[in-house]
Amino acid sequence: MRIALGADHRGFALKQALAVWLASRGHSVLDCGTRSQGQESFPTGGQGLESFPTRGQKSFPTKGQGQESFPTRGQESFPTKGQGQESFPTKGQGQGSFPTRGQESLPTRGQGQESFPIRRVDYPDFAFRVAEAVQKRRAARGILICSTGIGMSMAANRVRGVRAALVYTPELARLSREHNDANVLCLGADYVSPATARRIVGVWLRTGFARGRHLRRLAKLARFG
C-alpha cells in the first residue's frame, strides 16, 4: 500500500521512524515533509522546506574557525570583494543588500530575524500535501503527525474526500476505519510513544470499512464537502 506521510517539526522524528517501519513491512512511502526537525528553514531558490546548509554547501564558521567570514566587535564593515564574501555589504551599504538570491546568511549578535528569509514550518502546509495526495489517489492512505494531531486533523478535513481521524489508541484506530472509513490518520507525537504509534498504524492499515449503516452516514458527510 502507498502511504503519504507528513509532519511538522514536532512530529518529524516520529514520521521518520514510521517511514522506516512501514517500508520494512512492504509499504511504499510518499514523504510529504517536513524534512528537518528544526522549527525554521532558510530556503534558497527551488529548495522548498529543507534546512541549510545541505550536503555539499559551504557551512558557516563556528567558534574557533577564524574571523574571516564575519566582522568582530569594533569592525565597521564586512569583507570586501576578493575575500570570498561578495554577498555581504561593505561600509555604507544597508541591510537590504543581503542575502541575494541563492545565498543565505545567519543573523549576527544583536540582529533580529526579520531581516532574513525565514520559512516557518506550519502544519497546514504538510496536512494539505498529504490530504491532496490521498484525494488525487497518489496514495491510498495518509498519516499526519504534529504535537497533538489536532491541527493536522482540522487542516486535512478541509480537503474534499478526506476523512481524517485523530487517534490515540489502537481501539480508536480500528473504529475510525470500521465506522468512518478514515483515509488519513492523525497522531500526536507528544502523546503517543513510537511503540504505540506502530500499533495504532498497524491496526489502522489492517482494518476494513464495515459498510452497512455507515455508508448512509458517510454519504451525508460527503454532501457537505
Q: Report, as residue numbers or ranges, the catalytic residues.
A: 146, 179
Cα dist from 5 to 33, 90, 126, 169, whole Å: 7, 45, 9, 19
Q: In angstroms, rounded to a whole number, what is the distance separating the alpha carbons of residues 184 and 15?
A: 14
Residue that has been written with the C-alpha cell 528553514 in this structure:
41
Q: In angstroms, rounded to a whole number, what is the distance separating the alpha carbons of residues 125 and 34?
A: 9
- Using DSSP bridges, classify how beta strands 141-146 and 2-7 pair: parallel, antiparallel or unpaired: parallel
Asked if 6 contacts 127 with a C-beta cutoff of 8 angstroms, the reply is: yes
C-alpha closest to that of 206 among 179, 158, 180, 173? 173
Residues 6+ apart with CB under 8 A from 18: 5, 143, 145, 197, 198, 201
C-alpha closest to that of 165 among 147, 197, 187, 191? 187
